[in-house]
Structure 1
Amino acid sequence: MDKIAVLIPCYNEEKTIEKVIKDTQRCLPEAVIYVYNNNSTDRTVEIAKACGAIVRNEYMQGKGNVIRRMFREIEAQCYIMVDGDDTYPMESASEMVDKVLNHNADMVVGDRLSSTYFTQNKRPFHNFGNSLVRSSINRLFDCDVRDIMTGYRAFSYEFVKTFPVLSKGFEIETEMTIHAVTNNMQIENVVIEYRDRPAGSESKLNTYSDGFRVIRTISRLYRDYKPMHFFSAMAFVLAVLAIIFIIPVFKEYWETGLVQRFPTLIVCGFTMIAALQAFFNGMMLQNMAINNRRTFEMQLNGLHRKKMSVIAEEKDVN
C-alpha cells in the first residue's frame, strides 16, 4: 500500500503533463505518481514515462471509466486526484494530504470557486453551470460543499474502496460529492488558486451535453439517496393537479346533481391513485435506503480494519 498516490487521468495532454508531473514531484516527493492514459493520440504517454510516472491504460473512453479503473487498481492511504491540464496548483496538495492522513477527512475538495475561477475561466456558461450545480446540491442535500465540479481532490482509502462508480463521463465529480454527503463522510474544503488552460491546450468538457448529464445525475442520485423526498414531491404535484381539475366537476355536481365530465373525473381519480402510489413507493424505498446505509457502515468498518492491519504489517517489516 502506497502512503500517497497521485492519480492523473489523461487524454491528449502532451502540452501540460510534464509540468504537472514535475510540480507533483517537487511538492510531494514521497508520492507515487500514476498517469492513466485514456486513448491519447499525442505524446502524453511518452512524456509521462520519461518524467518517471507509472503509466497505465483505460481503453473505455470517459473520465468516469478512468476513475473506476484507478480506484480499483491502486491501494494507498491517501489519494490525490488532479487533472493533467495544469489548471490546479500542486502547492496545495500537502495541505490536502494532511487533512486526510491527520484529520480524518474522507474527501478534500480543491475549492476553485472561492478564489480565482470566475476571473480565470473564459467560458461564461461554465461559470454559470458551476454555480447552478453547487447551489442545487447544497440545497437538495443540505450540505455546504463549495466546489462540486472540481477535478482536484484528495480521498481516504475508505472513500475510494466504497465509492460505486456509475457515471462514465465528467458527471463523476458530482457523483463523488453526493456519495460523500449522503453517507455522512467527512468533507473538507481547501481554497486553491485556479488558472485557465495554457495556450494550445483544449478542454474536453462540452458545456451543453456534459451539463445535461450532470443535471440528470443529480436527479438520479436525489431519487436514489432521498427517495422519500423525491416521491413525496411527485405525489404532492400529482395530488394538486387532481384536486385542481376535479373541483369544477364537484361544483357542477353540487349545483345540478349531474356529472357532465366523466373523462375528467376518471383521469383525476387515476391521478390521485398515482399520487398515493408515489407516496407509498417513497416510504418503501426510504426503508431500503436506510438498510443500505447500515450495510455501508459495516463495510466501512471492515475496510478501516483492513487498512490499519496492512499499515501495522508494513511498519513491522520496516
Structure 2
Amino acid sequence: MDKIAVLIPCYNESTTIGKVIRDFKRALPEAVIYVYDNNSSDGTDEAARREGAVVRYEKKQGKGEVIRTMFRDIDAHCYLMVDGDDTYPAEDAEKMSDLVLDKGIDMVIGDRLSSTYFEENKRLFHNMGNRVVRKLINLLFTNNIRDILTGYRAFSYRFAKTFPVLSKGFEIETEMTIHALDKNMHLDNVIISYKDRPQGSVSKLNTFSDGIKVLKMVAKLYRHYRPFSFFRIIAVILILLSAVFFVPVLGEYFRTGLVERFPTLIICGFLVVAALQSYFSGLILNVISTNQKQQFELSLNQFEEYKSMQDKEAGGNEPKTV
C-alpha cells in the first residue's frame, strides 16, 4: 500500500502534465504519482511517462469514470487528487496530506474561492456558477463548505473505499462533498492559491451544459439523501398552488352560494391529494434513508475491523514509499 498516491485524471493535458508531475514530485517525494489517461489524443500519456509517473488508462469518458477506477485500483493511506492543468499549487500538497495521515481527516478540500480564484479566473459564468452551487448546497445540507467544485482534494483510505461513485463527469466533486456531509465524514479546509490555465491549455468544462449537470446532480442527491425535506417542499408547493386556485372559487361561493367553476374545484382536490401523497412518500423514503445510513455505519465498522486485521497481518510495516 502506498503512503501517498497522487491521482491525476487527464484528458489532453500534454501542455501542462509534465510540469504538474515535476512539481508534485518535489513537494511529495515519498508519493507515487498516477496519471489516468482518459482517451487523450495529444500524447498526454507519453509526456507523463517521460516524467516517471505511473500511467494507466480509462476508456469510459468522463472525470467521474476515471475517479471510480482510481479509487478501485489504488490502495493508499492518503489519496491526493489534482487536475493536470497546472492550476493548483503543489506547495499545499504536504499540508493537505498531513491532515489525512496525522489528523485522521477523511476529506481535505483545497479551497480556491477564499483566495485568488475570482481574480485569476476570467470566465464570468464559471465564477457565478461556483457561487450558486456553493450557496445552494450549504443551504440544502446545512453546512458552510467554502469550495464545492474544487478539483484539489485529499482523501483517506476509508473515504476512497466506501464512496459509491454515481457521477460520470464533472459532477463528481459535488457528489463527493454531499456524500461526505451526509455520512458525517471528517472534513477540513485548506485555503490554496489558484492560477488560471497557462496559454495553450484549454478547459474541458462547458459552463452551461456541465453546470446544468451539476445542478441536476444536486437535486438528485438532495432527493436521495434528504427525501423528507425534498418531498415536503413539493407538498408545500402543491398546497400553495391549490390555494391559489381555490380562493377565488371560495369567494364566489360566499357571494352567490354557488360553485360556478367545478373543473377548478376538482383540480384543487387533485392537487391536495398529490400534496398528501408527496408528503407521505417523503416520510416513507426518510425511514428507508435512515436505515441505509445505519447500514453504512455498520459496514464502516466492518471495514475498519478488516483494515485493522490487514495491518496486523502486514506486521505493522511502513507504507510503501518511492
Q: One-letter code of the match for 2:136?
A: S
TM-score (norm 2): 0.96
Equivalent position of 1:21 in the other structure: 21
- Alignment partner, residue 151 of structure 1: 151
Corresponding residue of 1:266: 266
Paired position in structure 1 for 2:237: 237
1:205 is paired with a residue whose SS is coil
1:62 aligns with 62
Counterpart secondary structure, 1:56: strand
After superposition, residues 36-115 of structure 1 pair within 5 angstroms as: 36-115=36-115
Tell me whether 1:168 sits opposite 2:158 in the alignment.
no
> Which digits, 9 at most, give the CA deviation of each residue in 1:229-284, with x for residues without a partner?
11111101101111221122222223333221110011000000000000000000
Q: What amino acid is the match of 2:61?
A: Q
Say if 2:113 is the partner of 1:116. no
Q: Unaligned 5+ residue runs, structure 1?
A: none
The aligned amino acid for 2:144 is D
Q: Which amino acid aligns with 2:99?
A: K
CA distance in 2 between counterparts of 1:271 and 1:317 reads: 64
**C-alpha distance in structure 2 between counterparts of 1:310 and 1:147, whole Å:** 35
Q: Partners of 2:98 and 2:218 in 1: how far apart?
A: 30
Aligned residue for 1:100, secondary structure, equals helix
Deviation at 1:315, TM superposition (A): 4.0
What secondary structure is seen at the aligned counterpart in 1 of 2:314?
helix
CA deviation after TM superposition for structure 1 residue 316, in Å: 4.3
How far the C-alpha of 1:317 sits from its partner, in A, is 5.5
Secondary structure at the aligned position of 1:12 is classed as: coil
How far the C-alpha of 1:69 sits from its partner, in A, is 0.8
Partner Cα distance (1:50, 1:311) in 2? 34
Shift of 1:112: 0.4
Residue 189 of structure 1 aligns to a residue in which SS?
strand
1:17 maps to a residue whose letter is: I
Deviations 1:129-167 (A, max 9, x none): 111111111111011111101000000111111111111
Could you say which residue in structure 1 is the equivalent of 2:216?
216
The CA deviation at 1:14 is 0.6
State the distance in 2 between where 1:277 and 1:48 align: 55
State the distance in 2 between where 1:204 and 1:182 align: 29
- Cα deviation, 1:10-34, whole Å, max 9, x if unaligned, reads 0011111111111111111111111
Show the counterpart of 2:227: 227
Deviates more, 1:304-313 or 1:191-200: 304-313
The percent identity for this pair of structures is: 60
Whole-angstrom distance in 1 between the partners of 2:314 and 2:15: 38
Q: What are the within-5 Å matches in structure 2 for residues 238-253 of structure 1?
A: 238-253=238-253
How many Å apart are 1:111 and its aligned residue?
Answer: 0.4
Q: Relative to structure 2, which stretch is displaced further, 269-278 or 16-25?
A: 16-25
CA distance in 2, matches of 1:93, 1:313: 30
Match of 2:132 in 1: 132
Over 3 Å counting, the alpha-carbon distance change for 1:90 and 1:314 in structure 2 is farther
Cα distance change of structure 1 residues 89 and 138 upon mapping to structure 2, 3 Å threshold = same
The residue aligned with 2:142 is: 142
For the residues of structure 1 that align with 2:87 and 2:105, how far apart are their CA atoms? 24
Supply the RMSD in Å over aligned alpha carbons: 1.2
Cα deviation 1:189-228 (Å, max 9, x = unaligned): 0011101111100000001100111111111111111111
The TM-score normalised by the length of structure 1 is 0.97
- For residue 133 of structure 1, what is the amino acid of its counterpart? V
Gapped regions of structure 2 (runs ≥ 5): none
Rounded Cα–Cα distance in structure 1 between residues aligned with 2:92 and 2:117: 15
AA matched with 2:133:
V
CA deviation profile, 1:99-143 (whole Å, cap 9, x unmatched): 111111110000000111111111111111111111111111011
Number of residue pairs matched by the alignment: 318
Aligned AA for 2:206?
N
- Superposed, 1:255-294 pairs within 5 Å as 255-294=255-294
